[in-house]
Structure 1
């Protein structure tokens, strides 16, 4: 990923996705906003006890930096499910300019131009999907529950089933999230992964410690899921940025014991050039 510093709010982006020419996208940092306290400074959640007007100003700043309109935002409503919502023109503005009428939505998918899919993070894994052939995009929140439930595979299947995407055409990217060295989990979480992944895959996914706990690698797990879903090696990109290690400029739930704001991922399909 590259850090873009033009504009009021710095953000991260994948050059390989941008080169398709059909999308606008970005992943926020905690820098460049107006929020105070534990949400300082670019908090993008209305649900962290922050001043709503400060959050709106933060959105205006990140929108100015990336180049989208806040009126085109469509929010997820994340509860660590594997549910993905098909987003249409009727959803424009949901979460920002009007209430969210749904819950249990951890992913968004659309082929409608100028809808800004928006999902939220503070250690979990953002997954970006772009099909430049069928002109379809998807944005997915994949924590450990979403990962063990293989929500990334579900996104690829939905792109294929609803819009005719060929997985070999899709570009997928794994965004900033907690890395294996910082992500200690209990045996029951490791066991959940053991039920879904092979014995050959498990040693690299969950490294057991002397105290019986495990270090879980969500990046590698999602790489396996997306590869098995048909994403080609040259079309799969991983940021390799740990939110917990980079707590000075990225929000991390684990690094702050939950005293934090939210980062956001944005993905917008651009209109087709005539």
Structure 2
């Protein structure tokens, strides 16, 4: 298990990547920060959350696309509502949720084997899960808040990739991106009861009692264990260990800022053959 991410800056745009995924020349991926965009007020500055001026959001997408190398017209966004619906993305979905209206109401995971398509999922404390099978050239992103975590969205995505593309879970490279960490994620008894239902995970190892019916929950470790139980080797999983609430200079955090905030995006794409660097 790797515990690292790297912070990059290109033309004023700051974003993070995983060294384990950077090793693959056919792959682009990133997690945005709040630095390097054009948004103002409490959306300042690299914001991707709706409510901001639409032109600002589109310009922010243009900026991160130029910084990382994505094709702007290949972006496809999720439609998250803390469930576990997964969507296969093809050429037909280019622009959905970005330059075209969303055409589904509940999508918390995206996957594709189509080069030039960039998957986009949104965050402000929840856990981004990245998946890449270099043998089948398949990528996926999944959004795991506490609800998605206890519903095992990471396992569901792993099983879907294996079923639809013939992937082996042993070949999948996975990464757990920036989110609220076990240092800051306080939950109540209702959430604890849901976590306790993960009967193949020792609850005491992911929950720390704080008294008065409050607990600190480690979503990173919950999701890591779910991925391992789904068959992904421990050594294939990178855990960023970057807490969004602890770093307000870099990230928007719902727990810290409430509704008066912007949002970040996880992005992932397979390069077109002609754009591969050799």
TM over 0.5: yes
Q: Which residue of 1 aligns with 2:25?
A: 21
TM-align CA RMSD: 1.2
Which of 156, 159, 162 is equivalent to 1:157? 159
Aligned positions, number:
271
Q: Which residue of 2 aligns with 1:32?
A: 36
Asked whether 1:94 is paired with 2:81, we answer no
Assess if the C-alpha contact under 8 Å between 2:111 and 2:139 holds in 1: yes
Q: Which residue of 1 aligns with 2:229?
A: 228
Assess if the C-alpha contact under 8 Å between 2:84 and 2:107 holds in 1: yes
Q: Which moved more, 1:70-79 or 1:93-102?
A: 93-102
Asked whether 1:249 is paired with 2:253, we answer no
Assess if the C-alpha contact under 8 Å between 1:26 and 1:265 holds in 2: yes
User: 1:73-92 counterparts in 2 under 5 A?
Assistant: 73-92=75-94
Q: Which residue of 1 aligns with 2:183?
A: 181
Give the distance between the partners of 2:251 and 2:199, measured in 1 at CA. Answer: 30
Question: 5+ unaligned residues in a row in structure 1: which ranges?
Answer: none
Assess if the C-alpha contact under 8 Å between 1:84 and 1:106 holds in 2: yes
Shift of 1:7: 2.5
Once the two structures are superposed, what CA deviation does each residue of 1:208-246 show, in whole Å capped at 9, x if it has no partner? 112121111000000100000111111100000000001
Assess if the C-alpha contact under 8 Å between 1:79 and 1:106 holds in 2: yes
Secondary structure, counterpart of 1:182 in structure 2: coil
Give the distance between the partners of 2:260 and 2:183, measured in 1 at CA. Answer: 21
Q: Which residue of 1 aligns with 2:239?
A: 238
Give the distance between the partners of 2:242 and 2:74, measured in 1 at CA. Answer: 28
Once the two structures are superposed, what CA deviation does each residue of 1:8-47 show, in whole Å capped at 9, x if it has no partner? 31100011112122210100000011111111111012x2
Assess if the C-alpha contact under 8 Å between 1:8 and 1:61 holds in 2: no
